[in-house]
Amino acid sequence: MLLRILFAAAGTMPVWFWLIWALAVLSMSLGNIGALVQTNIKRLLAYSSIAHAGYLLVAFTAAPVVGISAAMFYAASYAAMNVGAFIVISHFANQNERYVTLEDYAGLGRSSPALAAILTVFLLSLIGIPITGGFFAKFYVFRAALGSNLIALTVIGLINSAIAAYYYLRVIVVMYMREAREAVPVIKIPAGLGISLALSLIATIYLGVVPSRVLQYALYSAQQMLK
């Protein structure tokens, strides 16, 4: 809806440009600062979602066709990796949201290596590490911004990406390099939840290895929207 309002409605983008620019900066910065101080991993992901909304808004400030296609690709990649991360975290929390702090994840790499590895993939994608969908999502967004001469906004986005890398990597360090204070029981993943998790994982890796097909579809959709 926002893409149609800002791009498809003739003449509206110059009016809204600086508002979207400011919202992108505020979302990226405040979201990452909020996530940086969290010890509750669900809250950490919630604040990081605000930051990712800011990265998405960067694409809204770019030239129409590349901006729309970058926004679409980013939305697809973020949906896959964020849904996957929340599935793992919600399952690990057990009943009554008992295990949700960062310290609860200590030693997960040894007690449940498969679950820790899957969560690691999603976290690396949220950072924007190559061979994951998150890498190309951020790459296309920042390339669209640079192509539109939005140098300052791109620099702010890259700085925020570096900040985000710290708190995502902190979770990985805790899982693999900290000893657990108490054993946290890991319940077997139900079949339905496992299928959802597998689909999220496949989509995250697919978009990081073979992004061209989805990007071409996004470009075609952008061109159709502007007709």
Does residue 119 surpass a pLDDT of 90?
yes
| Cα angle value 75/26/7 (rounded, 5°) | 50
CA dist 205 and 125 (Å) reads 9
Specify whether the CB–CB gap between 210 and 73 falls below 8 A.
no
Output the pLDDT for position 89.
92
Per-residue pLDDT band for 13 (boundaries 50, 70, 90) equals low
The torsion defined by the Cα of 145, 23, 54 and 138, in degrees rounded to 10, comes to: 0
User: pLDDT for 40-62, tens place per residue?
Assistant: 999 999 999 999 999 999 999 98
In the chain, domain spans: 2-225
Taking CA atoms, 112 is separated from 11, 45, 54, 57, 186, in Å, by 54, 21, 33, 37, 7
Mean predicted lDDT score pLDDT of the chain = 90
* DSSP one-letter string for 7-28: IISTT-HHHHHHHHHHHHHHHH
Cα 23 to chain centroid distance, Å, stands at: 17
Output the pLDDT for position 226.
80
CA dist 59 and 177 (Å) reads 37
CA dist 220 and 126 (Å) reads 26
Specify whether the CB–CB gap between 78 and 56 falls below 8 A.
yes
Region 96-105 average pLDDT = 84
C-alpha atoms less than 13 angstroms from C-alpha of 72 in its C-beta half-sphere: 23
Q: Which two tokens stand for residue 163?
A: 């900040």
Does residue 186 surpass a pLDDT of 80?
no
Output the pLDDT for position 9.
61
Global pTM? Answer: 0.91
